[in-house]
Amino acid sequence: MKRGRPTNAIRAVREDYAAVLVEAGIDARWVESITTNTLDLCPMPDEWSYIEVRPSLIHGKGIFSAIPIGAGDLICASRIGKYRTPAGRYVNHSPEPNARMAHGLNGGFDLIALQVIRPGEEILIDYRQSGAVQGWTFDSERGRLYKERLRGGQ
């Protein structure tokens, strides 16, 4: 897919991301301040060197696999203890994810494949699911109303 004008699918993902923020009662500036903070980042452990950070059509940078990953397989750690890996920093949202967040070892979090992930494919999670694993709450009615307003009340 070429860079340039977002496709309808990319626009839908971005719209859903905005709805996630509304549902969680989170301000986009706060999210930006958390995601750009580098004080809690650690390097990706060598065992997951097949995870690559690359430009994403969805938003900024994303994480991609250089190898095939089977459905149900551990992709990598996104958080090790209190430190985020590059996967925890750059994994993007999709309402149709190919991965999910799960509790890992020592208070960390792992990414698990929901389906086969092909080499070069961006790894995506649903932020609602990952937020729920981390104890966040969401108001889906608020998100639905937000999406309605975006579409002009349809």
**Three-state SS at 55:** strand
Query: Is this structure's pTM higher than 0.95?
Result: no
Domain assignment of residue 133, yes or no: yes
The total number of structural domains in the chain stands at 1
List, for residues 114-147, the tens digit of each pLDDT value: 999 999 999 999 998 888 777 766 666 766 665 6
Any domain includes 19:
yes
Judge whether 112 lies within some domain: yes
Domain assignment present for 120: yes
Summarize pLDDT for 8-60 with one digit per residue, the tens: 888 889 888 888 888 888 888 888 888 888 899 999 999 999 999 999 999 99
Identity of residue 47: E
Q: Residue 76 is part of which domain span?
A: 8-150
Q: Where are the alpha helices (DSSP H) in 52-125?
A: 86-90
Going by DSSP bridges, is the β-strand pair 99-103/74-80 parallel, antiparallel, or unpaired? unpaired
121: domain CATH number is: 2.170.270.10
Q: Is residue 74 part of a domain?
A: yes
Residue 91 CB-density burial (10 A; 0-12 exposed, 13-18 middle, 19+ buried): buried
